[in-house]
Amino acid sequence: MNRRSLHFYEFGPFRLNITERLLERNSELVPLTPKVFDTLAVLVENNGHVVEKSELMHQLWPDSFVEESSLTQNISLLRRALAESGDESPYIETIPKRGYRFVAPVSETEETADALINPNPDLSTHSEPAVPASLIVSGKPESLQRRFLKSSYVPFISVCLALAAVLTVVFLVRAKRRNENFQPKSIAVLPFKTIGTNGESDLLGLGMADALIIKLSKLDQMTVLPTSAVFGFNAREKDPVAIGKELGVEGILDGTVQKDGDWVRVTAQLIRLSDGKTVWSGKFDEKYGSIFRLQDSISDQLSSSLRLQVSSTSKPVKTHPTNNPAAYQDYITGLYFWNRRTRDNLPKAIQYLEQAVQKDPNFAEAHAILADSYYLTTTDEFRGTDAEEALARAESSVSRALELDDTVAEAHIVRACLNLMTRRFEEAGAEFQKGLELKPNYAIGHVRYAYFLFYSLRLDQAVIHMRRAQELDPVSSITNGALAGMLYTARRYDESLEYSKRSLELEPNGVAARLNLGEAYIQKRLFNEAHETFDQVMPIDPRYASWEKSYTYALAGRRQDALRMLAEAEKHEEGPNYFNHALIYAAMGDLDKAFEQMDKIRLNRPATAQILFDPQFDPLRADPRFNDFLKRRNIELPSE
- Which of 284, 312, 340 marks a domain boundary? 312
CATH number of the domain at 8, please.
1.10.10.10
Q: So what's the pLDDT on residue 309?
A: 35
Asked whether residue 103 falls in the same domain as residue 53, the answer is yes
Question: For residues 220 and 226, which has the higher predicted lDDT (pLDDT)?
Answer: 226
Q: What DSSP assignment string belongs to 180-228? A: TT---SEEEEPPPEEES-TT--THHHHHHHHHHHHHHTTSTTSEE--HH
Q: Is the pLDDT of residue 498 over 70?
A: yes
Comparing 8-17, 37-46, 147-156, 233-242, the range with the smallest average pLDDT is: 147-156
**Is 182 a domain residue?**
yes
The whole-number average pLDDT for the span 207-223 is 70
Q: Are 591 and 599 within 8 A, CB to CB?
A: no
Q: What DSSP assignment string belongs to 370-391? A: HHHHHHHTTSTTT--S-HHHHH
Asked whether residue 147 falls in the same domain as residue 260, the answer is yes
Reported as a single tens digit per residue, the pLDDT across 13-26 is 889 988 878 888 88
| SS3 call for 286 | strand
| SS3 call for 572 | coil
Asked whether residue 81 falls in the same domain as residue 177, the answer is no
Question: For residues 413 and 302, which has the higher predicted lDDT (pLDDT)?
Answer: 413
Question: For residues 183 and 199, which has the higher predicted lDDT (pLDDT)?
Answer: 183
Asked whether residue 216 falls in the same domain as residue 285, the answer is yes
Buried b / exposed e over 498-536, threshold 16 CB at 10 Å, is: bbbbbbbebbeebbbbbbbbbbbbbbeebbebbbebbeb
- Which of 81, 109, 137 marks a domain boundary? 109
Asked whether residue 86 falls in the same domain as residue 125, the answer is no
Comparing 62-66, 139-143, 232-236, 559-563, the range with the smallest average pLDDT is: 139-143
Name the pLDDT band for 617 (thresholds 50, 70, 90). Answer: very high
Q: Are 472 and 225 within 8 A, CB to CB?
A: yes
Residues 579, 600: Cα–Cα separation, whole Å: 8
- Which of 58, 91, 109 marks a domain boundary? 109
Asked whether residue 67 falls in the same domain as residue 148, the answer is no
Asked whether residue 94 falls in the same domain as residue 172, the answer is no
Residue 263 belongs to what domain range? 117-312
Asked whether residue 166 falls in the same domain as residue 231, the answer is yes
Q: Is the pLDDT of residue 409 over 60?
A: yes
Asked whether residue 133 falls in the same domain as residue 104, the answer is no
Residues 18, 37: Cα–Cα separation, whole Å: 9
Mean pLDDT taken over the chain: 78
Q: So what's the pLDDT on residue 89?
A: 60
Q: Is the pLDDT of residue 310 over 50?
A: no
Q: So what's the pLDDT on residue 149?
A: 28
Asked whether residue 44 falls in the same domain as residue 96, the answer is yes
Q: Is the pLDDT of residue 115 over 50?
A: no
Asked whether residue 95 falls in the same domain as residue 211, the answer is no
Partnered with residue 109 across adjacent β-strands are 8
Which amino acid, 397? S
Q: Is the pLDDT of residue 497 over 80?
A: yes
Asked whether residue 136 falls in the same domain as residue 214, the answer is yes
Name the pLDDT band for 204 (thresholds 50, 70, 90). Answer: low
Query: What percent of the chain clears pLDDT 70, i.e. is strictly above it?
Result: 73
Reported as a single tens digit per residue, the pLDDT across 413-457 is 999 999 998 889 999 999 999 999 998 889 999 999 999 999 999
The radius of gyration of the chain from alpha carbons, rounded to an integer in Å, stands at 28
Q: Of 332, 420, 343, 342, nearest to 369 (Cα)? A: 332
Question: For residues 569 and 201, which has the higher predicted lDDT (pLDDT)?
Answer: 569
CA 205 to chain centre: 14
Q: Is the pLDDT of residue 501 over 50?
A: yes
The whole-number average pLDDT for the span 15-41 is 84
Tally of domains within the chain: 3
Q: Going by DSSP bridges, is the β-strand pair 99-102/186-189 parallel, antiparallel, or unpaired? A: unpaired
**Is 504 a domain residue?**
no
Name the pLDDT band for 236 (thresholds 50, 70, 90). Answer: low
Q: Is the pLDDT of residue 113 over 90?
A: no
